[in-house]
Chain A
Amino acid sequence: MSKTNESISLIINGLKYKIKVDPDTPLLFVLRDNLGLCATRYGCGEATCGACTVIVDGQAVMSCDISLGAVAEKSVQTAEGMQAMPSHPLLESFIKYQAGQCGYCLTGILMASKALLEKEPLATRKRIAEVLDSNLCRCGAHARILDAVEEAGKFMSKGL
């Protein structure tokens, strides 16, 4: 009984998509179910855990909390996009510090950190922690994650 929808266009990880889905559907479900881009994780669906964080026009956004309609014509980055940049400082440092356990929280944290460091590569550990307070990790990988993000910032500030 879904409404007849106009198609909506947006850019995801640099590729143009035209999607015909109820525009009220949260972006998270469109990514995961309609487009098969599952690196954006479903954690709570109610903007309280950060697992679904993506970057929309440079800003970290919880994709369960924004509708498809609201990102029309915008540019979205998801963790899948990182695959094309294997030497991105964030990926390198997450691997160097083995920052993660079950890993369920990681893609959201990666996106939140990327959005932050692109604006403030020299963010202090305290600042990084404050920003990541919107992202929950239950395994207790926090200390390693902070180490990894801090170090990645240093590389990014040098433009590496």
Chain B
Amino acid sequence: MIPPPPLADAPHLKNWLQVSEDKELIFFTGRVELGQGNTTALLMMIADELDVLPSSIILETARTDLTPNEGITAGSMSITIGGQALRWVASALKMQLLEIASKRLRIHAKNLSIYEGHIFNKGKKTECSFTDFFDGLDLTNKIVDDAKPKTFGERRKCFRDINRIDLESQLFGAPFIHDLKFDGMLYGAPVHPPSAHSHLADLDLEILKGRPGVIKVVRDGSFVGIIASTSYYAKKAASWARNNGKWESNIKEPFNLFENIKNLDTKPETVIESSDVNKNSGTWFEITASRPFIYHGSIGPATAVAKVGNDKITIYTHSQGVFQLRQAIAKVLNTAEEKICVIHKPGSGCYGHNGADDVAFDAVLMAKSIPGKFLKVVWSRFDEFHSSPMGASMVTKSRALLSSDDRLVAFDVELNSTPHTNRPSANFPNLLAAGYLANPISPSRTPDVPVARGGGADRNAIPSYEVGGVRVRKRIIYDTPYRTSALRSLGAYCNVVANEALLDTIAKQIEVEPIAFRLDHTTDPRSRDILERLDYETKKDRATTNEEGIGWGIGFARYKGLGGYCAVMVRVHVGENVSVTDAISVSDVGEAVSPDGVKNQVEGGIIQSISWTLKECVPVDGFSATAESWTDYPILKFSEIPIMRTILIDRPEEKPLGAGEISQGPTGAAIVNAVADAIGCHVTNLPITRDAIISTINAED
């Protein structure tokens, strides 16, 4: 077995665990809880490997002074990589404990086992607990020397489907970073320029200082921060400043996004070219899909707590990458990384790179002026909608070549996209406020995620079928006035929509059932299982509907081409607007560590994607995003939720794959195809609003 990658930089037991004086076993993970339930799943994996109860383990999530650096918690990799590492750690620990027990009890190690924390000899319970041997542990041992992680047949199923460990505190407690409190803590609010490309022209700082509750006003370049005695006063003063200050845009001409994004003239970068897509003959089909900017739209705004001491900066954050945030802040402040300690605390779900990192830097900038005191900074809804990175707008044009015997023999994808990644790092700090300090460090061009890591804009540009030669070309459009970064599933959403709508168009043209056409181009057994199961589960319902305005559609993809599989079938009603009435999905994520947790993630992805596909579009004016509150950016509501059926094909013998991002693309595609089933044309200029439908129908006429 190849050791999981995180063990390379953190090879010793002591990198991953500690035993407290009270004999508590504390495991460390470099991963963070983003609301996806991964701490619960990681805990289950440790407990299962160690054969102890989950309640007897403490799990500490990412903090730079304690846990290994596992990079960014993103891309559905927590269980696949982070969980596997913890299994090895737990196994190495168990092997060492049994070895110590064997020596002390004079029993051969192979006769000893652990069950629910008790030591067993040949299956008989002894007097000893596994904690009795903690004193003999050598945590400097190398994990790979001792670890023999269980094979799937040895795993115990009893820990699966334990409840989320954090649900009760979510229901009546105070588990969020927003709820942190320290003695003498003050409250801050930034006053960001209305876009990343404008500067402060005029603001009366003296009047601002005199507003109720204001203790200090910090200004550096165009950054203004207010420190107040309560969060209410900080917020009120910030909104006064916003209404009374003047900012000027550094860009004079408005930027026409669609002209730029649809302009296919410059030379694209060829990402993949498996063979010459033009060498075969047949009929070419083509479809273009586009999506606007989409907000992450966390319900709780970006928040951070910071304290700047003499020799040390402490930051509490809900960032996805505490080590990367530390590097970026160290770089901007020109300080040694060791002087900064970054600790993760759960925030509201982030769905990618939202304002979490930016607000942490805001907090540091302000806390510098009150040394030794904790400062909590909470963004306003206005900040969320104006200052946080948005999900990238993009356009995907997919072409497919159909041979005379109705087989796909070439597939050609060309896409134009604003950047899908602008995360902070040492090379590219990418912290909003750093761009408008007196000595600015402007946002830089971060390279797109390479294909080897699942791709960025081109993620899932290759369809999950056998389609002959494939070519993928892309253009990343940098230097727009808009700031974009990772939103769940990156380019996969738009690419899957384009590819699946294209397949549907072709199937319709040659009068083959959409599922049958997909199966005709699928030999991979796991993909076939998914498609056949979805067909079976929905066949009866599909056969019985032929009402006006009702349509059914399917979408399928294997996330990143190597992650989890998901197929979604939806039923839509197209009336005044489009609504999704039913959503049935079949997923395969290999070993589902927590089957209910996986289903929850898949359902969440489906609902979020319905919202993106039918409703969401960030309003922009050529200079910046213009939404100010939720009323300007409606998202899916309770009364718009479909009836859902979520089916999981469990494959305990396979390696676990992530679930958080597998359903967005397939859902968007299923809706587009269902709408086409209902009205006869594929509306692919997302979102599918009434206007989009009308303009598509007009264009086809």
Contact = CB atoms under 8 A, between A and B. Distances in A.
Interface of A: 1-2, 25-26, 29, 32-34, 36, 38-39, 41-46, 48-49, 51, 79-83, 91, 94-95, 98, 100-107, 110, 126, 128-130, 132-133, 135-146
B231 A2 contact: no
A98 B173 CA distance: 16
A140 B607 contact: yes
Given A82-B171, A107-B172, A139-B604, A43 B300 contact: yes
B35 interface: yes
Contact of A135 (B34, B179, B301, B638): B638
A142 B638 contact: yes
A134 B638 CA distance: 9
B389 to A, nearest CB: 16
A83 B639 CA distance: 29
Contacts of B34: 102
A133 B637 CA distance: 5
21 contacts: A25-B232, A29-B232, A33-B230, A38-B174, A44-B381, A44-B630, A49-B299, A49-B630, A51-B299, A82-B171, A91-B172, A101-B36, A101-B37, A103-B167, A107-B170, A107-B172, A132-B638, A133-B638, A136-B635, A137-B638, A140-B636
Given A98-B163, A101-B604, A142-B641, A136 B629 contact: no
B538 interface: no
Given A34-B230, A44-B301, A110-B171, 17 more contacts: A29-B230, A32-B231, A38-B178, A39-B173, A42-B178, A42-B378, A46-B629, A48-B381, A49-B299, A79-B172, A95-B163, A102-B170, A110-B172, A138-B348, A143-B603, A144-B603, A145-B638
B309 interface: no
B378 A1 contact: no
Interface residues on B, range: 35 or more
Across chains A and B, which 3 residue pairs bring their CB atoms closest together, nearest first?
A102-B35, A103-B170, A140-B607
Contacts of A43: 299-301, 348, 381
A130 B639 contact: yes
Nearest to B607: A140
A96 to B, nearest CB: 9
Contacts of B603: 140-141, 143-144
Interface in B151-175: 163-164, 166-175
Contacts of B171: 79, 82, 91, 94-95, 100, 103, 106-107, 110
B182 to A, nearest CB: 12
A2 B212 contact: yes
Contacts of A143: 603, 607, 641-642, 644
B134 interface: no
B231 A106 contact: no
A138 B167 contact: no
B176 A36 contact: no
A126 B639 contact: yes
Interface in B100-152: none
A138 B638 contact: no
Contacts of B16: none
A94 B169 CA distance: 12
A95 B167 contact: yes
Interface of B: 34-37, 163-164, 166-176, 178-179, 181, 187, 210, 212-213, 230-232, 235, 297-301, 346-349, 351, 378, 380-381, 596-597, 600-601, 603-608, 611, 629-631, 635-639, 641-642, 644
A79 B171 CA distance: 7
Contacts of B231: 29, 32-33, 42
A131 to B, nearest CB: 8
Nearest to B231: A33
A114 to B, nearest CB: 12
A106 B119 CA distance: 41
Given A41-B300, A101-B35, A138 B608 contact: yes
A104 B35 CA distance: 9
A118 B494 CA distance: 44
B378 to A, nearest CB: 7
A79 B630 CA distance: 24
A34 to B, nearest CB: 8
Nearest to A80: B172
A138 B166 contact: no
Contacts of A46: 381, 629
A141 B604 contact: yes
A83 B171 CA distance: 9
A144 B604 CA distance: 10
A140 B213 contact: no
B381 A138 contact: no
A104 B167 CA distance: 10
A146 B212 CA distance: 43
Contacts of A129: 637-639, 641
A3 to B, nearest CB: 9
Contact of B629 (A1, A48, A91, A95): A48
B159 to A, nearest CB: 15
A136 B604 CA distance: 13
B35 to A, nearest CB: 3
A100 B170 contact: yes
A80 B166 CA distance: 15
Nearest to B318: A102
Contacts of A34: 230
Given A45-B235, A107-B172, A102 B348 contact: yes
B638 A104 contact: no
Contacts of A98: 163-164, 167, 596-597, 600
A102 B171 CA distance: 11
Nearest to B298: A138
B639 A139 contact: no
Given A39-B173, A106-B170, A45 B639 contact: no
B684 to A, nearest CB: 23
Contacts of A81: 172
A139 B600 CA distance: 10
Contacts of B37: 101
B351 A42 contact: no
A104 B176 contact: yes
A1 B210 contact: yes
Nearest to B212: A1
B300 A104 contact: yes
A41 B178 contact: yes
Given A42-B178, A95-B168, A139 B35 contact: yes
A29 B600 CA distance: 32
Nearest to A105: B299
B301 A102 contact: no
Among A25, A33, A144, A146, the one with the most B-chain Cβ atoms within 10 Å of its Cβ is A33
A140 B604 contact: yes
Contacts of A83: 172-173
Nearest to B210: A1
A111 to B, nearest CB: 10
A136 B168 contact: no
A48 B172 contact: no
Contacts of B168: 95
Contact of A136 (B178, B299, B301, B596): B299
Contacts of A103: 35, 166-167, 169-171, 175
Contacts of A102: 34-35, 170, 299, 346-349
Contacts of A142: 607, 636, 638, 641
Given A29-B231, A102-B348, A135-B638, A48 B607 contact: no
Nearest to A37: B174
A146 B630 contact: no
Most buried by B among A39, A43, A95, A140: A140
A91 B163 CA distance: 13
A137 B167 contact: no
